[in-house]
Amino acid sequence: MAELAKAHDFSFTTIDGAPMPLAQYRGGPLLVVNTASQCGFTPQYRELQSLWEKYRDSGLTVIGVPSNDFGAQEPGGNAEIKKFCQDNYAVDFPLAGKEKVTGGDAHPFYQWAADEGGEGAAPRWNFHKYLIGPYGELAGVYPSQVKPLDKSLTDDIERLLGTSKS
**Distance separating alpha carbons of residues 157 and 139, to the nearest angstrom:** 9
At residue 119, the pLDDT reads 83
Q: Average pLDDT for residues 7-20, to the nearest whole number?
A: 97
Does 20 have pLDDT greater than 50? yes
- Looking at per-residue confidence, does 146 or 4 come out higher? 146
**List 5, 9, 39, 56, catalytic entry:** 39
Q: Which CATH class is domain 30-161?
A: alpha beta
- Digit-coded pLDDT (tens) for 67-101: 999 999 999 999 999 999 999 999 999 999 999 99
Work out the average pLDDT over 44-65: 97
Share the mean pLDDT of the chain. 94
85 is catalytic: no
SS3 string of 129-159?
EEEECCCCCEEEEECCCCCCCCHHHHHHHHH
Q: Are 141 and 34 in contact (CB under 8 A)?
A: no
pLDDT at 166 over 50: no
**What does the pLDDT read at residue 163?**
61
Instruction: Calculate the alpha carbon distances from 106 to 1, 38, 56, 62, 131 in Å.
Output: 26, 21, 28, 20, 18
pLDDT tens readout for residues 112-159: 999 999 988 999 999 999 999 999 999 999 999 999 999 999 999 999
